[in-house]
Structure 1
Amino acid sequence: MLRRTALRLAALAALALPAPAGAQEAPWPSRPITIMGGFPNGSGVDIYARKLAEPLSRALGVPVVVDNRTGAGGNIASEYVARARPDGTTFLLATAGTHAINATLYSSLPFDPLRDVTHIALLGDVPNVLLVSPQHSPGIGACPALIAAARARPGAVNYASTGNGASTHLAAVQFALAAGIEVMHIPYRGQPPAMLSLLGGETTFFWNQSGPSIGPVRQGQVKALAVSTRQRLAALPEVPTAEEACGLPGFESTTWYGLLAPPRLPAEIQQRMAREVARIIAEPDFVAWLTENQGITPPADPGPEAFRAVHQRDIARWAETVRRSGARVD
């Protein structure tokens, strides 16, 4: 009996000893990192994630890959990251849609948009661009013509969005309320099919995010009637604001992109990742890409605390717009 007790105590003592140096966990990062996205390839989120991944991989010394898991307005990817191990291998390129708008849009979510995350970095303000097809809507060459067409046939003019309650939907709701028009909403699953609906003449207009809009505008595939910011975009300087083009004083509809991690991420990983991301997005070449190629305004303060404050404020800010839209997902 005494021998068994002595052996048991010896075993417990051995467990309490520090592990040999070779067995200790390697410093972060030591494994590939995945940036999850909730929207299809070619979407604004996907474009930004892939642009960020390359310099981030060089800075951290490990591969950084992008994995898009689409569906449910970005909730599938958001839930995956909310439940992932907080080991610094999984991050989420989130949006105001996934983590502010969806808080009111969905009657219930399998995660808490504010509590089940670790804030890493605010990545920029994202505007929308009012698009029409010059081929299928040749008579709508400017915003007043679109408003007039909608007033002439209430409910007959339709518009595309990237999903029910998405920022592209709510921008159109804000536009319709400000212009006093009644239009029909046709949601699609992501940006590419929504854009195809506009190009194919299935829909009349589309308040699309700036990033995936700029290429088709410059190529003449679509015509931009207005931007949703109070100042013109450096990427599309010839396109007027909604106030200028549509006669809607003070009209503005922008969202944000941000980098999140699972809850309970160790502070040292959060701080290192936040520093690297902030440095990358402040580099002149990256700023030029954001403003001139994507129409995105870099954040004044990308830090985790500033990001959390913006996030918390926007949950309340978007709640009223969602309620006025009548959009609801059960």
Structure 2
Amino acid sequence: MLRRTALRLSALAALTFAPAAMAQEAPWPNRPITIMGGFPNGSGVDIYARKLAEPLSQVLGVPVVVDNRTGAGGNIASEYVARARPDGYTFLLATAGTHAINASLYSHLPFDPLKDVTHIALLGDVPNVLLVSPQHSPNINTCPDLIAAAKAKPGALAYASTGNGASTHLGGVQFSLAAGIDTLHVPYRGQGPAMVSLLSGETAFFFNQSGPSIGAISQGQVRGLAVSTRRRLPALPNVPTVEEACGLPGFESTTWYGLLAPPNLPAPIQARMAQEVAKIISQPDFVTWLTDNQGITPPADPSPAAFRRVHEQDIGRWAEIVRRSGAKVD
């Protein structure tokens, strides 16, 4: 009798704990993964996230979807991921803007941009291109022409940006300071409206990100005066660097894209995701897409440790640029 009771209790215990054990043993991943983005569809972040999602879906064996939650300079999506469960099903395609510039730009962030993350992979350096409209600025054919026009009317020459404190704004600040010119910053809500302002003549120049700039230059909509990197871009071999074109030694203004996860992500998931992403972005066809289509420089070291080092350094570097710009968002 006692033996039968013991057997029944043993069987009942096995049934009780089986679902929990099975859940714990279920391999990662076993359901769809989401890559969050903080910017609109068609933005550089969105384009990169979707390009990365397809091969990730194939190697991980589950759907990888992109979900953009825009607003507050990318802070809405960043906070969402910072507060998400660290279970390997929510990631963020972050930028130097969301996790380095915003640290100084915003008086109060609802998350810590360095502590409330798990670093997965550095995805590449993103340069800007100094653009003018040939239709509305026919006399500005070179960077010295632009500098001369700004010096002729201090404070009057306007430049567009994708928002207050965005890299397109701070690139303009860096350029103006280096060139010793006084220019007028006009922020817009995103890349599209800023480009429209340039094409319509509302603004005279625009330090736009390389991806959308490449197409606009090739179509003759805008003239590329210079790129913000130390070396020319393979995608724009005929566009000189700011140092070459403007006579500003050592000028550089670039940002980065990177993949982050919520804090306290289990180390095995971090390692697996980092490994798969590094493999994908180092494939020859992906590298060609980055360099020739988007103007993005692939990372020399995409590892989580290298990404964290770049992230830490950039918070300090951009803090000084934000301070000099006077930009602030409450």
Aligned to 2:55: 55
Name the amino acid aligned to 2:41: N
* Structure 1 range deviating more: 73-82 or 194-203: 194-203
* Secondary structure of the structure 1 residue equivalent to 2:286: helix
Shift of 1:293: 1.1
- The Cα offsets for residues 180-226 of structure 1, whole Å up to 9 and x where unpaired, read as 00111111122121112112221111101111111111111111000
Aligned to 2:6: none
Aligned to 2:198: 198
Structure 1: which 5+ residue stretches go unaligned?
Answer: 1-8
Name the amino acid aligned to 1:128: N
2:115 aligned with 1:119? no
Map 1:151-300; keep pairs closer than 5 Å. Answer: 151-300=151-300
- The Cα offsets for residues 64-103 of structure 1, whole Å up to 9 and x where unpaired, read as 1111111111111101111111111111100011000100
The 1-side partners of 2:50 and 2:14 are apart by 47
The 2-side partners of 1:78 and 1:279 are apart by 25
The 1-side partners of 2:22 and 2:241 are apart by 60
- The Cα offsets for residues 205-249 of structure 1, whole Å up to 9 and x where unpaired, read as 110111111111111111100000111000000000001111111
- The Cα offsets for residues 252-282 of structure 1, whole Å up to 9 and x where unpaired, read as 0011100001111111111111000000000
Task: Tell whether the 8 Å contact from 1:42 to 1:191 is kept in structure 2 after alignment.
Answer: no
2:67 aligned with 1:43? no
CA 1:157 to 1:306, structure 2 compared with 1: closer, same or farther past 3 Å? same
Report the TM-score, using the length of structure 1 for normalisation. Answer: 0.94
Shift of 1:125: 0.7
The 1-side partners of 2:91 and 2:24 are apart by 24
Aligned to 1:85: 85
Aligned to 1:304: 304
Shift of 1:284: 0.3
Name the amino acid aligned to 1:286: F
Aligned to 1:96: 96
Aligned to 2:321: 321
* Secondary structure of the structure 1 residue equivalent to 2:34: strand
The 2-side partners of 1:111 and 1:286 are apart by 32
Shift of 1:136: 1.2
Count of residues paired in the alignment = 322
Shift of 1:26: 2.4
* Secondary structure of the structure 1 residue equivalent to 2:116: coil
* Structure 1 range deviating more: 26-35 or 16-25: 16-25
* Structure 1 range deviating more: 176-185 or 60-69: 60-69
Shift of 1:59: 1.1
The 2-side partners of 1:281 and 1:141 are apart by 36
What CA RMSD, in Å, does the superposition of the two structures yield over aligned residues? 1.9
Identical-residue share of aligned pairs (%): 81
Aligned to 1:4: none
* Secondary structure of the structure 2 residue equivalent to 1:116: coil
